[in-house]
Amino acid sequence: MKAISEGAVESSRGPARSARGGETAEARFRALAIGELDRAYRLAGLLLGDANEAEDATQEALLRAWSALSSLRDPAGFQGWFDRILVNVCRDRMRRRGRIRFIDLEGSPEPRATGDPFGAFIERDAILGAMKGMRDECRQVVVLHYWADLPLNEIGARLGLALGTVKSRLHEGREHMRASAARSADGKRG
């Protein structure tokens, strides 16, 4: 396994050129990243619940990944490596925005009209709407497990968590969604 930029002569004047047949690190990074772009943007959108923030976060993660490219040992692991950077960016943005907004599901049974595709996707579903009030840590695990279809050990590897922690966060998130769905069903019956 070689780091993508291994052997590269890095220069602030231009792209790094690797020892692999003249292919630039920039070109290889671009090829890897393009394949993940839609998925990354959607993952960020589900984590942040906002298309604009998702776009910013994905761009930020791309730039971080580009700068940290030498830490990627195996190009085949790009998705997992980039996931971790992206999730950390999203986590950081949640902290940085310093404010928390919740939708009172019990008080507003009718989903709110919203122009944001991710907000609408989340809010219009009785189960997914529970993510609005879910702890960020649980939300990350829930999205990676149920949306990205990752097994728990893989989630642990991507988030730097022990398997037990992943399980407990998934359990908490799942129960949160179950309770929300039950409340929603009760509301409709009532």
Partner 1 sequence: MDDFDRDIRNAFHARQLPGAPARLLQTLDALPARQARPSFGGFRLVLGLAATLAVLLVAVVALSGGSRTPPPAGSPVPSVPAVVGPSVEPSASVAPSVEPSVAPTETPVPTPTPRPTAPTPTPTPATNAGPAGLIDPEHLWAVGDGRLLVTADGGQTWRDVNPPAPAEPGQVAHLLGVQFIDAEHGWVAFAEPFKLATDPGFGRVDVWRTTNGGKTWAKSELPPARINNAGDTLGPLVFDFLDSSHGFAFISGNFAHGLNDSDLYWTADGGRTWSADRPTGTGGAGIEGPAIAFATAKDGVAVGRPVGSGVSVTHDGGMTWKAAILAAPAGMSGAVRFFGQPVFFDSHVGLVAVQFEGDASSVTRIYRTTDAGSTWTFLSQVPGTDTLYVSIVDQQAWIATDGSGVVHTTNGGAGWTHVTTQAPSGGLQAGLLAAQFIDLDHGWAGWMEPQGNAHVLVTSDGGVTWHVLTP
Binding positions for partner 1, 43-72, rule CB under 8 A: 45-46, 51-53, 55-56, 58-60, 62-64, 66-72
Q: Could you tell me which residues come within 8 angstroms of residue 130 by beta carbon, excluding any fewer than 6 positions away? A: 105, 176, 177, 179, 180, 181
Q: Does 92 bind partner 1 (CB under 8 A)?
A: yes
Q: How far is the CB of 190 from partner 1 (least distance, A)?
A: 21
Residue entry with tokens 């692999």: 20
**Cβ within 8 Å of residue 73, ≥6 positions away:** 1, 2, 3
Interaction of residue 114 with partner 1, rule CB under 8 A = no
| Binding to partner 1, residues 115-134 (CB under 8 A) | 117-118, 121, 125, 127-128, 132-134
With CB under 8 A as the contact rule, the residue among 21, 101, 113, 189 that binds partner 1 is: 101
Tell which one of 7, 35, 77, 109 touches partner 1 (CB under 8 A).
Answer: 77
Decide: is 38 part of the binding site for partner 1 (CB under 8 A): yes
